[in-house]
Amino acid sequence: MIVTKADFANLSLIASPGPLRRRLQGATVVLSDAAPADLVTMNSQVVLQDVSTGERRLVAVVYPPDADPAAGRISVLEAAGTALLGATPGQVIEWRDEGRVRRMRVQEVVHQPERSLRANMVVRS
């Protein structure tokens, strides 16, 4: 998994022992401007497609205080959020939800904060 240095620092503060902590321990940490433009980072908006039903859904991976599943804002501490962090389009992520395995394909990263920052950066001399 690739994770930005800023996300790694912030997530390291909130990740208790468990799946997110394990993913962070094996992560490749990169500067924000070196993150691939289609990488799911914190606060990215992503179109997911259910592998079984074909249903599509727009979601965002967020920090726990910002989570609102009904609005598509998934906490990074939830199984789906942990699985989604570091994903790229075409990748199928899976997690356990209410005793069953959910499988979703990442269709598109609609918004990635790092990509937005690069596109709107103003360099002053």
Q: Which domains does the chain carry?
A: 2-112 (3.10.50.30)
In this predicted structure, what is the pLDDT of residue 92? 97
Helix (H, G, I), strand (E, B) or coil at 95: strand
pLDDT averaged per 10 residues in sequence order, the chain, 125 residues? 95 91 94 92 97 96 96 96 96 91 96 72 52
For residue 46, what is the DSSP state? E
- The length of the chain is 125
Instruction: Supply the pLDDT for residue 98.
Output: 83
